Amino acid sequence: MKNPLSVVLGAASLSLSACAAPAAYERQSDEAQIAGIGDIAEGQAEVSGQPLVIDPWTGRSSREVRRLDETLNALIVFDPSVLEAPQVPGTLLEGRTVLIKDNIETREWATTAGSLALTENVTGRDATLVANLRENGGLVLGKTNLSEWANFRSTNSSSGWSAVGGQTRNPHAIDRNPCGSSSGSCAAVAAGFAWAAIGTETDGSITCPASVNGVVGFKPTVGMVSRTHVIPISASQDTAGPMARSVEDAALLLSAIAGSDPLDPATQDANSHAVNFADGIEKSSLDGVRIGVVRGRDGGFQPLGQLYEQALSDLRRAGAVLVDIEYSPSQELGQNEYTVLLYEFQRDIGRYLQGSPADIPARSLKDLIDFNAVHALSEMRWFGQEIFEMALETTDEDAYSRALATSRTLARQEGIDRLLAENEVAFLIAPTRGPAWNIDLVLGDNFTGGIGIGSLAAVAGYPHLTVPMGHVEGLPVGLSFIGAQWDDRAILHAGAAYERARSVAIPAPGFSPWEPWGATDSD
């Protein structure tokens, strides 16, 4: 059986802009990207009966998005007609286009979590974060595919697959996995389908897909963004967060969705910390900033280690003071985290299902298990529902309380808080994860080539930013920045300063099967 914590990496429950991208970000023209599809797009019929709409924030036409998504499967719903509506000037986002992961409710469409059991889950309500987004001038362009049930159904899943949306593909190499569970959100941003997107994370579901798709992903402090009307996994770890093509854009999007919500007690203090995170970010500096450099988290994968060393060189050149740190999360942390996730999921998923005003066939976790068994050919052809079944049996509240207390102590007081204090550093950095692996629906995911420290931030509920660091033969990898609770603004500003200092080019998506970067027919 696959290590259950590998599956949790994909769990969740929870930029293109008017400004130029960083100089080191080599972006092809839209025409070149379309041409790069080659034989895959050859002979595809043009979408008929649909108006041609251009997104001013990406330059993409609605026809291009639909054509490209026939390859990527990143979208479940796409509605460019919102671009034709009059915009209210003076708002924070000014009509920027945003895609929403399909475990977050939007009033127009069903919220499915990728499951056939929820195809009629049209609630007519916006999640609080979506309401905030609209109020701040963001345009909801559609909903993105995801790992079904945010990758919390099976121990042998393929990240990015759902019964509703099929298998999402990585735009940098379409035979490679986009990671999960916010796979569609990150693939869509990398492909230029929208200015930015919203994903969710329980442990790794924003940062892993952002890293392997070559975009910025930010998991905020748990409690910075409301989880109301977001399909849950873990009340103690779930959060939504932005994916974008630059740190500044991610910071701007976080500013639009963050804030306290009386319906989500975890956000009680959010208004004290929710600011315009992008304000002054273009002047952020690393000069004299002490950074904890976590060693030994590249999995012994030499190409990733070399990119990490180059990133460290760039940080030194930007004036940072680097302090080496040796740290490996204990098995005890992972074991207790898994108990917490199983218990909170079985407790809270039934509450969500019972609270949906839609006519859906499941109102409990047991109903979902039964639904999948009846629809096994569609739902369980590739993998089962072992996590669902384990969660159903995880009902010991005392054991849960002990596991929650232990995991938080290990991740906070004995983890991030201790590492920051003892080494007198502002934040920690490490490679986010290795490059994307081959899609394998039969055998499932293959998380190799770098293990990062993202689970530490996930369990602690602390902020975690990943910024493109480079690529391994055309396959992107990211650099992680992790800080203390509510240090979201500082982390984003540090990431933006690194982004400006980065000396390694980031390849544009190729929309073709993988081949060594820069290879030619004569190689």
Residue 205 annotated to the active site: yes
Active site residue: 62, 101, 182, 246, which one? 101
* CA-to-CA dists, residue 376 to 119, 244, 360, angstroms: 16, 36, 18
Instruction: For residues 417 and 427, give the distance between their C-alpha atoms in angstroms, rounded to a whole number.
Output: 10
Active site residue: 205, 211, 236, 260, which one? 205
Instruction: For residues 352 and 103, give the distance between their C-alpha atoms in angstroms, rounded to a whole number.
Output: 11
* CA-to-CA dists, residue 73 to 25, 70, 183, angstroms: 25, 6, 10
Q: Give Cβ neighbours of residue 283 (< 8 Å, ≥ 6 apart).
A: none
* Residue pair 346/392 in contact by the 8 Å Cβ criterion: yes
Question: What is the CB neighbour count within 10 angstroms for residue 374?
Answer: 11
Instruction: For residues 456 and 468, give the distance between their C-alpha atoms in angstroms, rounded to a whole number.
Output: 20
Please tell me whether the peptide bond between 181 and the residue prior to it is cis, using omega within 30 degrees of 0: yes
Query: Using the 8-state DSSP alphabet, how is residue 230 labeled?
Result: B
Task: Read off the tokens for 430.
Answer: 């490490």
* Residue pair 15/246 in contact by the 8 Å Cβ criterion: yes
Instruction: For residues 29 and 12, give the distance between their C-alpha atoms in angstroms, rounded to a whole number.
Output: 33
**Which own/partner contact pairs does 58-67 have at CB distance under 8 Å and 24+ positions apart?**
58/16, 58/97, 58/192, 58/193, 58/194, 58/195, 59/16, 59/30, 59/192, 60/30, 60/192, 60/193, 64/30, 64/34, 65/193, 67/34, 67/37, 67/41
Residue 181 annotated to the active site: yes
Active site residue: 115, 154, 181, 407, which one? 181
Task: Read off the tokens for 217.
Answer: 């992903």
Residue 182 annotated to the active site: no
- Sign of the torsion formed by the C-alpha atoms of 108, 111, 114 and 119: negative
Q: Which residues are catalytic?
A: 101, 181, 205
